[in-house]
Amino acid sequence: MTKKAVEIKLQSGLEARPVAMLVQVASRYDSSVYLECEGKKVNAKSIMGMMSLGLVTGESVTVIADGADESAAIDDIEKYLCGETA
Q: How sure is the predictor about 84, in pLDDT bands with cuts at 50, 70 and 90?
A: confident
Domain count, the chain: 1
- Tell me the pLDDT tens digit for each residue of 9-54: 988 778 889 999 999 999 999 999 999 999 999 999 999 999 999 8
What is the 3-class SS of 12-51, one letter each residue?
CCCCHHHHHHHHHHHHCCCCEEEEEECCEEEECCCHHHHH
User: 66: domain CATH number?
Assistant: 3.30.1340.10
Q: Range of 69's domain?
A: 2-81
Domain assignment of residue 60, yes or no: yes
Domain assignment of residue 50, yes or no: yes
Tell me the average pLDDT across 56-73: 96
